[in-house]
Amino acid sequence: MPKQKTIYVCQSCGYQSPRWMGRCPDCDNWNSLTEELEPARHTAERGAQRPGAASTVPVTRVKMEDHQWIPTGIGEFDRILGKGVVPGSLVLVGGDPGIGKSTLMLQVASRLAEGGREVLYVSGEESTVQTRGRAERLQALSDRLLLYPEVDLEQILQTVAQTRPWAVVIDSIQTVYHPDLQGPPGSVSQIRECTAGIMRLAKSLHITFFLIGHVTKSGAIAGPRLLEHMVDTVLYFEGDRHHTYRILRAVKNRFGSTDEIGVFEMSSAGLLEVANPSEIFLSHRGEAASGSVVVGSVEGTRPLLVEVQALVSGSNYGVPQRVVSGLEHSRLVMLLAVLEKRYGLRLGTQDVFLNAAGGIRLNGPSVDLGMAAAIVSSYRDRPVEYTTMVVGEVGLGGEIRPVRLIQKRIREAQKLGFTRCIVPLANVTEGAGETSIRVVGVRDVSEALDEMLGSWRRKRTDR
């Protein structure tokens, strides 16, 4: 057997080098290269030496088959995947420790088993007794749900090939190792080879695999970036462990959209679906106070109304603080520059704290106007009317640009009892005729603030 060579592999991006380097030339991370043994030749080339494994076929003779989505019975989970689970697909679920990844996958496995499909739950971190205890708490007991505590990849694949379950859950991919490789479980080479072996088996036997993945301290799934490229769907769990609500978001999906989100509530009985997230996010909203504005966002096809809170106070240090939770920091910096340059608000000496209530993360520019209104409301200490919803993108010139799906945002606001919507002027004709709610179109930030805060400018400017 030939002697294995030593290589250095970047734990962030998977870059391989024959010698150690302080900084990875691919991802520019420092001290990320670790020493590993190069995979044995017979292991790496096992698939290439297999004769007759596949044959060429003209593209015109390939039969088109529609994806057959199988609903799991968990509506929020099915929404993220498209319409359900596609047989033979690989789904990677990542998230912070304790966020609920194993809980969700055990609930999904139980629902599939209750539907008459056999599911194999491979646990590399817990014993069968521990998994049984969680299953009892979640009321996820079924004779078709099989438990298998194993971390050896060859044993796992052999068991899957013998039992032929409809779906397999591996908890987690970082604990599985290939016996032919010398690296420890969780290393770049181990994750790459194990995922490749699972993918070949999934596609050949048409078995669905759910892979639970750990994340690094930066929030990315641990292991090489190649892992996310190999699987069909990548799901991320978002949310603060101190909050009860969890957001499941798709960042890659070969069988559906990546714009949808699923909202869950963590309880003693597991993760519960949240049918109306807007009502939940606004349920603990207090009385009208300065710095509080409700914005209308859209995640995929679902409208969400979320309270944006701002606190502006004089800075006691040389450099003012800019603290953001659940919103984009770059958008806050841009909005502060627009308010100071275009409208004379001296915010360069103020600490600004911005928060999306409920632990949700809002992406996209449609919440710009709400963020700007919350900042000015706190700065001037003037509350925005309690039943007002705000939506709009702010340009660098202070103009309000139109947003998409305005009708859904307005209908959601009316359903929750709001009486006025501040929207871009270009969206007024699109959404005004659909509801009885008062829709106010604005051209720029100054006009929007006049509508929400009255005379928000002082006679003597801040300059």
Give the pLDDT score at 52.
Answer: 44
Lowest mean pLDDT across 30-34, 105-109, 396-400: 30-34
Domain containing 202: what range?
68-275
How confident is the model over 237-283, as pLDDT tens digits? 887 666 788 889 898 999 888 878 888 988 888 999 988 888 888 87
In 3D, which of 223, 187, 236 has the Cα closest to residue 12?
Answer: 223
**Does a structural domain hold residue 424?**
yes
pLDDT above 50: residue 47: no
pLDDT beyond 90 at 441: yes
Q: Which pLDDT score, from 0 to 100, does residue 1 have?
A: 45
Determine contact, residues 100/264, Cβ cutoff 8 Å.
Answer: yes
Indicate whether 457 pLDDT > 60.
yes
Domains identified in the chain, total number:
3
Residues 17 and 122 in one domain: no
For residue 242, what pLDDT is reported?
Answer: 67
Say what the pTM is.
Answer: 0.75
Average pLDDT of the chain? 86
370 located within any domain: yes
User: What was the pLDDT predicted at 433?
Assistant: 57
298 and 354, same domain (yes or no): yes
Same domain, 246 and 292: no
Over range 295-313, report the average pLDDT. 91
* Cβ-based neighbours of 317, under 8 Å, separated by 6 or more: none
Task: Give the pLDDT of residue 46.
Answer: 46
Residue 400's alpha-carbon distances to 25, 115, 383, 394, 407, in angstroms, are 42, 50, 21, 5, 17
Domain boundary among 275, 307, 339: 275
Q: Check residue 42 and give its pLDDT.
A: 46
